[in-house]
Chain A
């Protein structure tokens, strides 16, 4: 087994744009669930809005890069309002049902054949990031050191992606120390108590939903910049991966989602490389290389269960802060 290849691939995941996108989406989810106590099971929908909002704006409406980013952010605000208006006054389980349902609605709509001229149907969309790469300030060549050596194009995506992650985490850090953050944390602990202090709980919940959703949308844009848009990516599986990432790091922590995302992707890559190597060398005889993909997700699922049982607060979490129930 080629150890340097296995470890190199795993380490490269540390800074990959996919990791950044998952981290950003998990930061948004941490604003929803970790800080405000909103059970959002539709983070994949916000990412889909980022991805499709951006790609459709560029390809179909011919908007420039910044226009497309703004358009998808606007779409995500509208989407969050649509989700929030009927459900945020009700018990938290209603929001959970409506978010997961609307995420699926969105996925059906973008993959339907009757809209294929706009959304590309099941085939998705590609070749929309030209303007983004045209802004690349790095000259051609190879940058950084093993195992992070990347081309100028890859470096540009990574720099932009991780800068946005850093800005978003700083913003969330500042927000949660502000009076606004104290109110939403109060809502998580006891909604009625906050209401009796004269705060408009509904409005604060709505602001939190919109803000976390906007982070999810930015994550969706980062996610698609290095690849094409595929409707199959935005199923409930994506939502649950983001939940895994957030719970792994710690729900109500600043750095938790970022580190959780790194751990998640490094582990996925590492288990893949190790299992591939072991099967190829004949150490594991009861699996074929085709079966490794699903098997590593089984392992991740088991790991998540073990995490919830043995360390429910995540890597960074504070057990005292986790006494709330959704």
Chain B
């Protein structure tokens, strides 16, 4: 949807250059509002799903927040499929890395991978190179 609809196109235009988007007749404020609503709704669903299999607590979101950043950046900012791929990589890495490093450092391991990926391929696994500059 992000790639093919008018709304998706308008969203990418706003992300790239808000004033230029406004000049071409896109209602920047309403795009931003729609994006927040959609993103909030998706995050809400993910909260429900997470609550189904881990114990719900007030800081459950905060404990995975940085891993989410890592996943999105790893997959490539600005690509929905990249975020999914990045999330799988981070999830597998966090759990598998406990075979080698102490388990209280497993999140640190994932974040170090994030920094290493930015060093060699800053656009992420599926991202486009023109966005990063």
B-binding residues in A (CB < 8 A):
85-87, 89-91, 93-94, 97-98, 100-102, 104-105, 108-109, 111-114
Contacts and interface: CB of A to CB of B under 8 A. Distances in A.
A112 B104 contact: yes
A89 B111 CA distance: 20
Contact of B115 (A101, A108, A114): A101
Interface in B77-133: 77, 102, 104-105, 107-108, 111-112, 114-115, 118-119, 122, 131-133
Given A86-B115, A90-B132, A90-B133, A97 B69 contact: yes
B105 A101 contact: no
Contacts of B122: 86, 89-90, 94
Given A90-B133, A91-B132, A94-B118, A101 B111 contact: yes
A93 B66 contact: no
Contact of A93 (B77, B102, B105, B112): B77
Given A87-B118, A90-B122, A109-B105, A101 B66 contact: yes
Given A93-B77, A97-B114, A98-B114, A108 B132 contact: no
Contact of A108 (B69, B107, B118, B119): B107
Q: What 3 A-B pairs come out closest when comparing CB atoms?
A: A108-B108, A101-B111, A86-B119
B14 interface: no
Contact of B104 (A87, A102, A108): A108
A112 B102 contact: yes
A102 B118 CA distance: 13
B73 interface: yes
A114 B102 contact: yes
A231 to B, nearest CB: 11
Contact of A111 (B77, B104, B115, B119): B104
Contacts of B133: 89-91
B24 to A, nearest CB: 20
11 contacts: A86-B118, A90-B133, A91-B131, A94-B73, A94-B132, A98-B115, A101-B115, A102-B111, A109-B105, A112-B102, A114-B104
Contacts of B66: 100-101, 104
Nearest to B106: A108
B28 interface: no
A105 B111 contact: yes
Contacts of A102: 111, 115
B70 interface: yes
A91 B133 CA distance: 6
Contacts of A87: 118
Nearest to B77: A93
Contacts of B77: 93
Contacts of B115: 86, 98, 101-102
A302 to B, nearest CB: 18
Contacts of A86: 115, 118-119, 122
A109 B112 CA distance: 12
B118 A104 contact: no
A93 B15 CA distance: 13
A116 to B, nearest CB: 11
Given A90-B132, A102-B111, A105-B112, A113 B73 contact: no
Nearest to A191: B133
Interface in B1-54: none
A108 B131 CA distance: 31
A114 B102 CA distance: 7
